[in-house]
Structure 1
Amino acid sequence: MTQCVQAGTMPMTLQEVARCLSGRLVPVAASRSADGVDDPCESLKVVSDSRLAEEGSLFIAIRGERVDGHDFLPGMGARGVRAALVDHLVSGADLPQILVKDTVEALGLLAKHNIELRRAAGADFTVIGITGSVGKTTTKDLLASLLAKLGEVVAPVGSFNNEIGLPLTALQVGEGTRFLVAEMGANHVGEIAHLTQIVPPDLALVLKVGVAHLGEFGSVERIAQAKSEIVRGLVPGGLAVLNADDPRVAAMAPLARGGVLRFGMNGKTAVLDARASDVERDRSDRPSFTLSLADAEPVRVHLGISGTHNVMNALAAATVAHHMGMDPRSIAEGLGRDDRISPHRMAVGTVRTARAGFTLIDDSFNANPDSMRAGLDALSTWQGAKGRAEPYRIAVLGVMLELGDRSAQLHEQVGAYCRQLGLDALVAVGCPDESADALVRAMVRGAGGETAGETEGGTAPMLVRYAQDADQAGKVVESLAARHPGSLVLLKGSHMSGLSALAERWQG
């Protein structure tokens, strides 16, 4: 049988893959059966993680900083892996190899070819690109859930939003796919432009221009320039959906050649296609708001997820869903049902260890000044079950990376903000990296410095602790929670802080 690739359900033989990548198909020495192009083939998954390479899959061998995917080829054929995309031939490999100059670039070309095949199929298909300094993944999760009521949706797991993650997601698109919801992130100018060349969006949603990756970009203006590339990369006649409350996002409107939809909460903004107003929150910081969409009666939305900052993310998702044909009541019902989003993003749960029990807000996926403040706001306003005393609020915070020359100042501001909010305790989590650890200590300085502990007959205005790593931070938290039943704990920091692993250990 001819060996072939199916990305989603868009079939391609291995020979077709090689042709579209200008690559060379090298069969296994013992078999010369990869020449045909017309035989039927099985569904195939495209993967770049050797642990996920299974029967019928196409493995993309990528050279990383620490690991080279080419090293894992021997034995893959025996496991049923169909073929591997490589930048050099691996001797001893027991499966066909497609030789290309650059496997990451080839992965993008293969994804682009798959999207072109889907568009050529003729049935309705819409690519929705999402970018912004904060909120991309939450908005993606909410929007994908809403659009699933209208048709088959492909969306990334977690934050697959770079030159590897986006193509892997696009290669899940098949003949039955109605929507591709694609995150597009950037660490430098030109990156989103490149992603839109791989997967040009029909609709570009821009959430916010903040200071994430400020060190890489050099200025907020450069960040805005990078985010605007998603609007410039729209297909001819494509639609831009813009946050009218952010002046830098609103200024992108002239770049959209196919029209603009505006969403926001600012009552002074007269021309809005979607508005959220009358925002309230319950004792668990789950917000509700009035959703007003163009030419429709307002409806009340009660979000299933926590965090007042998620009102804007929900409003963005609602704007797109309504444009795609979903009625406001169905949107409100959908937003109310979604109480779980991607891991480590404002995930609320109960933790019980041998020493203590407490409520955990796990927002440990990553951190920048905007998202850090949003998480701290949620921690400070949480009241818990009615009739119970106010919880003892503990912020467990790690380093924020890629903030440039203002890094120390921005960390000091976070520490000061914890004190301003009147939190009960701040546990600042150190890092092995000296420069990152210095930023954590700047956060401690901003909070007023480490305190000696709880005073007799009461507590200090805010207890401040430096922990050398996540494990020590966990011990400090459990000790505090044991002395303060009903404690509420927020985990927030970059991946380097190890807080995601701490959350998984607590909840495992």
Structure 2
Amino acid sequence: MMRMTLAQMVQAVHGSAEHCDCDDLETVTATSVVTDSRQVVDGALFVAIAGEHVDGHDFVDAAARQGAAAALVEREIKSAPIAQIVVPDTVAALGALAKANLEARKAIDEPFTIIGITGSVGKTTTKDLLHALLSTQGETVAPKGSFNNEIGLPLTALKVGERTRYLVAEMGANHIGEIARLTKIAPPDIAVVLKVGVAHLGEFGSVERIAQAKSEIVRGEAPNAITVLNADDERVAAMSGIAKGDVFWFGIDKAQAHDIDGYMAADDIALDDLGHPVFELVSSQGVEQRVSLGIGGRHNVMNALAAASVAKLLGMPLERIAQVLADTRRISPHRMAVSEVERDGARFTLIDDSFNANPDSMRAGIDGLMAWRSQEDQQPYRVAVLGSMLELGSDEHNLHRTIGAYALDGGVDALICVGGGDDASLNALAQDIADGGTEAKDADDMRPVRAVKTTQQADDLIRALNAEHPDMLVLLKGSHASGLSALATQWAAEAE
């Protein structure tokens, strides 16, 4: 964070300084911002946010004891021995403070670039890959995990300091207007749109409205910004008409790389025996570079193309891009993370892709499961453990059945569908996945398909299958509500 005095912060958020002396306005300074009192260090500004379960105002005293310089609050906490900035809405004020921080960085006569990324799938992985690439070029700030909303993006932007060269800002949305608000905080100099899918379809109402929401990142670009679009998605490609500056493209069709200036393509795509994509990176100048991704999943080719396109625009040579993409093996947790789980003398390989789920990412996860060691004579016993998908609207039951059928048609050896404990709607969706899988089987197909309500029941089934199949491969994929990421964490703790 750019160092700010109390007076500068009060001005940025249009608040009032309370519980402090006039001298404090210029002598009290903040060098970091947190919303969790446990993360307070000397010189931090603590932002008190009233959440659904916890009210940050209850921890202003604790933040003061931890060494916070000041607190941003919606009501003065008279008992807390700390300077306080009082505003009507601390979340809105957090965004205003982040905007002021970025403007202060831009005022320094040194290069600084904001890259904004949005899309229905792939945002976090693309962000992780781009962070790895740009970090080799200069100090790069990017969010942890998927900090991409009205709280996460400002907190990330407030990590930008005097020496920061790049900010990679992930921008997500559940409603129209949310990305537009994020671009007012951090207007992208380079805007990347990955895909318009059906994630959050239930919230938006139609794919067209999802496309409208994603297009807000282009409308909110900085003047003369560069727009990087997925040429293979017609709804994304249509956003070129509202771009404020040059448009660059990425996609699978190599032929377009020769026809369109500023196009990055992937050609000759294959998967190695661990499910890692190998392909030719082709630029519009006709330059080709072999790439072997350090992360698994064929779907990550498009994410790598998007990241490579931005890195190329910012001056990285293709050879260096390929090297960094090959060396990047760890990305944000619960995204196609491969590990070995060993307990009670049994062992299996886990593909943990349990961060979240929608129909596109579900199919990609299943494809990754089936690609693992697919070229070897002795293939593992493949188990897909799938949870429900949320916010899919009126067609959610059919979409879940389709995923069950896709898993069985794709060749999984066992399908376990996990609901939400006492949540009847989540249990019904898990049953839909199982029904789709069962309907896809022939009469003599004995592959097990089960729907369960809890992760404990799923764990029991996995233990039983592992006892029969020592060389077993398990995919975890589902919405956060299904608890599969917690199951992955539990297995990791047991292994340790």
So what's the TM-score if we normalise by structure 2?
A: 0.95
1:259 corresponding residue in structure 2: 246
Contact kept in structure 2, 1:15 and 1:34, CA below 8 Å: no
Q: Please state how far the C-alpha of 1:54 moved relative to its aligned partner.
A: 2.9
Q: Please state how far the C-alpha of 1:13 moved relative to its aligned partner.
A: 0.4
1:507 corresponding residue in structure 2: 492
Q: Please state how far the C-alpha of 1:387 moved relative to its aligned partner.
A: 5.8
Match of 1:239 among 226, 237, 240: 226
Letter in 1 for 2:50: R
2:342 corresponding residue in structure 1: 352
Cα displacement string for residues 183-226 of structure 1 (whole angstroms, at most 9, x for unaligned residues):
00010111111100111000100000000000000000000010
Matched, 1:320 2:310: yes
Matched, 1:172 2:159: yes
Aligned counterparts of 2:19 and 2:64: Cα–Cα separation in 1 = 11
Match of 1:225 among 212, 215, 239: 212
1:22 corresponding residue in structure 2: 14
Q: Please state how far the C-alpha of 1:462 moved relative to its aligned partner.
A: 2.3
Cα displacement string for residues 355-380 of structure 1 (whole angstroms, at most 9, x for unaligned residues):
52100000000000000000001111
1:277 corresponding residue in structure 2: 267
1:12 corresponding residue in structure 2: 4
How many percent identity over aligned positions? 55
Aligned counterparts of 2:147 and 2:55: Cα–Cα separation in 1 = 20
Q: Please state how far the C-alpha of 1:381 moved relative to its aligned partner.
A: 1.8
Contact kept in structure 2, 1:422 and 1:461, CA below 8 Å: no
Other structure's SS at 2:248 match? strand
Match of 1:368 among 358, 376, 386: 358
Match of 2:64 among 39, 61, 77: 77
Letter in 2 for 1:22: H
Q: Please state how far the C-alpha of 1:296 moved relative to its aligned partner.
A: 5.6
User: Is there any run of 5+ residues in structure 1 with no aligned partner, and where?
Assistant: 1-7
So what's the TM-score if we normalise by structure 1?
A: 0.93
Contact kept in structure 2, 1:450 and 1:465, CA below 8 Å: no
1:139 corresponding residue in structure 2: 126
1:63 corresponding residue in structure 2: 50
Q: Please state how far the C-alpha of 1:440 moved relative to its aligned partner.
A: 1.1
2:478 corresponding residue in structure 1: 493
Shift of the 482–34 alpha-carbon distance from structure 1 to 2, 3 Å rule, reads farther
Aligned counterparts of 2:80 and 2:457: Cα–Cα separation in 1 = 45
Matched, 1:412 2:412: no
Matched, 1:198 2:185: yes
Instruction: Report the aligned-residue RMSD.
Output: 1.8
1:440 corresponding residue in structure 2: 430
Correspondence list, 1:36-185, <5 A: 36-37=25-26, 44-185=31-172
Matched, 1:215 2:202: yes
Matched, 1:465 2:450: yes
1:329 corresponding residue in structure 2: 319
Shift of the 90–450 alpha-carbon distance from structure 1 to 2, 3 Å rule, reads farther
Contact kept in structure 1, 2:10 and 2:16, CA below 8 Å: yes
Letter in 1 for 2:346: A
Cα displacement string for residues 109-167 of structure 1 (whole angstroms, at most 9, x for unaligned residues):
00000010011112100000000000000000000110111110000000000000000
Aligned counterparts of 1:52 and 1:416: Cα–Cα separation in 2 = 46
2:279 corresponding residue in structure 1: 289
Shift of the 34–428 alpha-carbon distance from structure 1 to 2, 3 Å rule, reads farther
The 10-residue stretch of structure 1 (438-447 or 261-270) with the greater mean CA deviation from structure 2: 261-270
Aligned counterparts of 1:436 and 1:49: Cα–Cα separation in 2 = 31
Letter in 1 for 2:451: Y
Q: Please state how far the C-alpha of 1:40 moved relative to its aligned partner.
A: 8.9
Aligned counterparts of 2:32 and 2:388: Cα–Cα separation in 1 = 36
More helix by share: 2
1:339 corresponding residue in structure 2: 329
1:475 corresponding residue in structure 2: 460
Matched, 1:35 2:35: no
Aligned counterparts of 1:136 and 1:461: Cα–Cα separation in 2 = 38
